[in-house]
Amino acid sequence: MRQSFRGMIYLALLVTFVACNAPPVPLDDIVVEKTFVPEKCERAVKSGDFVRYHYNGMFPDGKKFDSSYDRGSTYNVYVGKKQLIEGMDKALVGMCVNERRLVKIPPALAYGKNGYGDVIPPDAILHFDVLLLDVWNSEDTVQSQTYYKPEKCTRTVQVSDFIRYHYNGTLLDGTLFDSSHTRMRTYDTYVGIGWLIAGMDQGLLGMCVGEKRLITLPPSLGYGENGDGSDIPGQASLVFDVVLLDLHNPKDSISVEGQVVPENCTRKSQETDFMRYHYNGTLLDGTLFDSSYSRNRTYDTYIGKGYVIAGMDQGLLGVCIGERRRITIPPHLAYGEEGTGTKIPGSAVLVFDIHVIDFHNPLDSVQITSSFKPDACSPLSKKGDFVKCHYNASLMDGTHISSTHTFGKTYDVVLGAGQLVPGMEIGLKDMCVGEKRTLVIPPHLGYGERGVDGEVPGSAVLVFDIEMISMEEGLPDGYMFIWNSDVTPDLFTEMDKNKDEKVEPSEFSDYILRQVNEGKGRLAPGFDANKIIDNMFSNQDRNSDGQITADEFKLKADEAPSHDEL
């Protein structure tokens, strides 16, 4: 009885041992557990697709028998073409990039009764922890997805165009392999002539400046079976997130877009004209690189003479004063492949929004337009006349400079006495009282290159609206005093009031002023009478002793023509 009992205990222990170490119950089919599924799945694996994936291969007890991670390389293979064990062919179908699956494969769908060498024993159940990194098909082409497009798109990329763009380059699983942003420099290239991998040559076509696009390339249109030897593995799909910044063709000329053209345009700019204009300079994507407005000063230059970049020399021709236009200049007419400074990159298309303030030619004279002339327009002003006038002064763009009306008094000048800029001298001649004129004065007859600080910019064309209020006839050229009647032969005696045979300054001054008051003589109008008389006395006081003797005293008619005197 005891022996029988002991036998029963031994048998129970043996059954328990065998049960604990028995192989797992064979599976009829694969078991798939999705351990991670990405939120977005744009494409699932189908039979016939090529995939790249990482895996760990394990037995049910957790013992690892193989790993792509250990080899440092993904497993790359076609699905559904018997290049894999049957269970993996089934397990990979339907997977998304970045999806992770734990796959359990029965021996019948793995290595069966024979196993695989010393690695996989016969009738082994296999577990694979799989992470899908890439999927493509030999029939795939370039896929382009635009996720931002500007409202205005006047031009798109064509074959042989030169473009500048930024990009982030990633593998299909999102791994970054390159970025122009990190280099802080655009990628600059021709399109469609073999300078790029084939897929990019195709994917960039049709883009607008400012457009943002995802371009997905199969390896056959990327770096193929071998990759790039560095960051791009063989047989890898590539994704480029591209923003196009610039676009031109070597055959391009400048483009001119009129924005505001004045209704009244009496003159258009020509070669050798000197121009003052404001501008904002931007790259084709809108990035500002320069502005005359920020300096609060126009850009002043000759046009058509090589003083500015070739494209601007062309774009500034044929404009009107007050016109606003947009000039788009390809790099071969701007700063070329090298660019300039830190703000204009090489091969950049430039856009200038300009506002023409004024222009003139060094050969220009004063432009005189009479807007009103009295029926009886006489006498006409001439050199030496003392005139009083009202004026409004402005720049060619209408900017107000000054006005006599503001001060409530006329502008009083002697013509030909150097009291005016040359252009005003010209414009006020041969004018009658009551006449109204508009004078357009070029800077070389105005205030020149320097202008007037705080009032008139350098090289500015001036516009004066003038009305002559009064005019007093001047004296003959070279005279500051004339007699209105015959001169008494006792002139010296009449001046010598105290009869000491010397004329003192007070005697001289009193006598001249008396002649003027009695209408017997005239002083040049518009000048200080006392200064004229002092000058006349100095001319007569030849030995400069402060008095005039009879021997010194002479009339102008008796003098050589170098003195302004009696």
pLDDT digits (tens, 9 = 90+) for 152-198: 999 999 999 999 999 999 999 999 999 999 999 999 999 999 999 99
**pLDDT tens for each residue of 495-523:** 888 988 888 999 899 989 998 998 888 99
Binned at pLDDT 50, 70 and 90, residue 298 comes out as very high
Please tell me the distance from the alpha carbon of residue 367 to that of residue 321, in angstroms, as a whole number.
15
Based on the residue annotation, tell me whether 277 is a catalytic residue of this protein.
Answer: no
**How many of the other CB atoms lie within 10 Å of CB of 8?**
10
Tell me the β-bridge partners of 328: 255, 351
CA–CA dist 525, 531 (Å, integer): 12
CA distance 238 to 215: 8
- Residues facing 534 on adjacent strands: none
Distance from the first to the final alpha carbon of the chain: 173
Tokens, residue 235: 């047989």
Of the candidates 514, 501, 485, which has an alpha carbon nearest to the alpha carbon of residue 549?
501
**What pLDDT, on a 0 to 100 scale, did the predictor assign at position 470?**
95
What distance lies between CA 27 and its chain's CA centroid?
Answer: 71
The pLDDT value recorded for residue 555 is 67
Give residue 26's pLDDT: 54
Q: Which of 50, 53, 111, 165 is catalytic?
A: 111
* DSSP run (H or E) holding 467: strand 462-472
Structure tokens, 372: 């009103």
Does residue 557 register a pLDDT over 70?
Answer: no
65 flagged as catalytic: yes
Residue 189, helix vs strand vs coil: strand
Residue 19 has pLDDT above 70, yes or no: no
pLDDT score of 148: 97
Residue 190 a catalytic site member: no
Active site residue 464: no
Q: Which tokens hold the place of 550?
A: 């009879």
Task: List the catalytic residue out of 66, 123, 241, 510.
Answer: 66
Q: Which one from 50, 53, 128, 302 is the annotated catalytic residue?
A: 128
The larger pLDDT score, comparing residue 352 to residue 474, is at 352
Query: Residue 510: CB partners within 8 Å, gap ≥ 6?
Result: 497
∠ CA 313-315-320, nearest 5°, is 110
- CB-based contact 103:130 (threshold 8 Å): yes
State both tokens at 86. Answer: 């049957």
Candidate list 85, 327, 357, 512, residue with the active-site label: 85
Average pLDDT over residues 391-420: 93
Question: How far apart are the C-alpha atoms of 365 and 359, rounded to whole Å?
Answer: 13
pLDDT band at 335 (very low <50, low <70, confident <90, very high): very high
Determine the pLDDT at residue 360.
96
Sorted by sequence, the CB contacts under 8 Å of residue 375 that are 6+ apart come out as: none
For residue 103, which phi and psi values (nearest 5 degrees)? Answer: -115, 130
Q: Is residue 443 packed enough to be buried (19+ CB in 10 Å), middle (13-18) or exposed (0-12)?
A: buried
Residue 24 has pLDDT above 70, yes or no: no
Backbone φ, ψ for residue 129 (5° rounding): -95, 105
pLDDT over 70 percentage in the chain: 93
> What local confidence, expressed as pLDDT, does residue 488 receive?
83
Average pLDDT in the 479-492 region?
86
Q: What is the pLDDT of residues 33-55, one digit of tens each?
A: 999 999 999 999 999 999 999 99
pLDDT at residue 467 in the model: 97
Average pLDDT on 322-341 reads: 95
Please tell me the predicted confidence (pLDDT) of residue 558.
61
Task: Specify whether 508 is catalytic.
Answer: no
Structure tokens at 399: 């900017």
Alpha-carbon span 320 to 356, nearest angstrom: 7
pLDDT band at 252 (very low <50, low <70, confident <90, very high): very high
Task: Give the number of other Cβ atoms within 10 Å of residue 311's Cβ.
Answer: 24
Q: Which amino acid is at 240?
A: F
d(CA 484, CA 143): 102
Is 553 noted as a catalytic residue in this protein?
no
> pLDDT category, 560, cuts 50, 70, 90?
low
Residue 88 CA to residue 7 CA, distance in Å, equals 48
Query: Average pLDDT for residues 420-441, to the nearest whole number?
Result: 96
Which residue among 59, 65, 78, 479 is the active-site one? 65
Among 30, 49, 50, 55, the active-site one is: 55
What's the Rg (C-alpha) of the chain? 49
Q: Which residue has the higher pLDDT, 408 or 562?
A: 408
